[in-house]
Amino acid sequence: MTIEFEEKALEDLYTLGYTNDHRYKRLTKDIIKRYIKVVNYLKAASRIEELFLINSLHYAKKEGDLKGTEAVWINDQYRLLFHSSPNDQGIIVNALLLEISKHYE
């Protein structure tokens, strides 16, 4: 799957393992390591349906205020929110990473 980052901070977390963005500065090394692992899962998937097979991700399409957004678990407290889009054949193969969200906040 092709991965794009909406924010430079998310890209820095993935490539460098840290960021100076105030929203993500307090993330522990374990959470950052798990974030990188989740992004690698997304990159390795050739289509969105493959994410259903990885139970630890708990892939879900969000509803309500986040309608149109999808989420996978980083751990039981943090979620990675993203938008996916299809290719010419209608197969969803692109993901735009939006933010790391603390669940229920």
CATH number for position 74 = 3.30.2310.20
* Domains in the chain, number: 1
Q: Which residue range(s) make up the domain with 49?
A: 2-102
In the prediction, which pLDDT does 73 show? 96
Give the residues of the chain that fall short of pLDDT 70. Answer: 104-105
pLDDT of residue 39: 96
pTM equals 0.90
Specify the pLDDT at position 104.
Answer: 65
| pLDDT tens digits, 61-91 | 988 888 889 999 999 999 999 998 887 777 7
- Angle (CA) 88-66-14 rounded to 5° is 70
3-state secondary structure of 63: coil
pLDDT of residue 47: 84
